[in-house]
Every structure is written in structure tokens, then in C-alpha cells.
């Protein structure tokens, strides 16, 4: 499973929309990546990732934890963020990508610490996902208001 997704991310496979299970895993891995960008993978961030995955995909707590754990493995092996986000951009409609940016902001804000590494990473990811600056700012505002 990881190998075919990694092939897509590395560009060694023919570009094609990601199957649903790969898209889930790619989104989960992106959530993990943003949580790890400040080198502090906080318990609050992990809990929020599990909750978001459970809510989005109607998973049990155990299933969400298993998906996150698979995503942690994928994230550690995954290529640079540019190719990683390109795969998500190709698989996810624009409206859902703005929701992804909001989820990423929620993870950044989960530990009540926001630093310049996280801000810079989120600006990069929003841009790579093709989300406009205006929509990214709105997503951040929604995340902050939660």
C-alpha cells in the first residue's frame, strides 16, 4: 500500500487520481507533517488528528488511530512536501482543499503554540494546494475561532 502511494508521490507511477484509501492516507500524512514541522509532535495535536480523521471518514477511535499511525510511517518516508501536496491537489476538489487548510491550521493551533516554522509551512502548503491567500486566511480565522 505505501509503495504504490510513494510511487505516485515520487512521480515514478503514471499520474492518476488517488484512490479513496490513498487520498485518506495522504491527507492524514499531511496532518502529521504539519504537526511535526516544529519538532514538537504534541499529544494535543495527535488527539486532534485522530478526531478529525474519525469525523471526516466516520471511523471509530481505533480505526482513526490506526490510520494516523500508518500516516506517521508514510510521512516519515514521503518525499518533499511539493510532490506530496501535488498528489492531494490532484485528488481533492478546491472546496475540500480549503477545508484541508483549515484542518492544518487547527493542528498547528492545537498545542496553543504558533511559531514562524508553522506559519511558513502553512503558507507553503496552502500555495501548493492551490488555495488562494484570501481563502487560506479565512481558513485560519475559522480554525482560530474554534
Task: Give the model confidence (pLDDT) of 81-125 as tens digits.
Answer: 887 687 778 878 898 899 999 999 999 999 888 788 888 999 999
Burial class (CB within 10 angstroms; exposed 0-12, middle 13-18, buried 19+) of 110: buried
Predicted confidence (pLDDT) per residue in 25-44, tens digit: 888 999 999 999 989 899 99
Cα distances (angstroms) measured from residue 31 to each of 81, 90, 106, 122, 137 = 12, 17, 10, 11, 18
Going from N- to C-terminal start, the domains of the chain cover: 2-145
Domain boundaries 2-145, corresponding CATH code: 1.10.3680.10
What's this model's pTM, rounded to 2 decimal places?
0.82
Q: How far apart, in Å, are the Cα atoms of 16 and each of 33, 43, 88?
A: 23, 35, 11
pLDDT tens track for 11-28: 544 445 555 677 788 889
User: Residue 4's pLDDT is what?
Assistant: 55
Q: Distance between CA atoms of 17 and 96, rounded to whole angstroms?
A: 15
Amino acid at each position: 500500500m505505501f509503495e504504490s502511494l510513494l510511487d505516485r508521490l515520487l512521480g515514478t507511477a503514471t499520474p492518476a487520481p488517488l484512490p479513496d484509501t490513498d487520498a485518506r492516507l495522504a491527507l492524514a500524512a499531511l496532518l502529521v507533517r504539519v504537526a511535526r514541522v516544529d519538532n514538537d509532535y504534541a499529544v494535543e495535536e495527535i488527539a486532534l488528528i485522530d478526531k478529525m480523521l474519525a469525523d471526516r471518514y466516520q471511523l471509530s477511535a481505533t480505526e482513526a488511530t490506526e490510520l494516523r499511525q500508518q500516516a506517521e510511517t508514510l510521512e516519515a518516508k514521503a518525499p518533499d512536501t511539493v510532490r506530496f501536496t501535488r498528489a492531494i491537489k490532484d485528488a481533492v476538489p478546491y472546496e475540500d482543499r480549503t477545508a484541508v487548510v483549515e484542518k492544518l491550521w487547527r493542528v498547528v493551533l492545537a498545542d496553543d503554540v504558533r511559531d514562524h516554522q508553522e506559519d511558513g509551512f502553512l503558507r507553503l502548503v496552502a500555495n501548493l494546494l492551490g488555495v488562494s491567500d484570501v481563502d487560506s486566511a479565512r481558513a485560519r480565522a475559522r480554525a482560530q475561532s474554534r
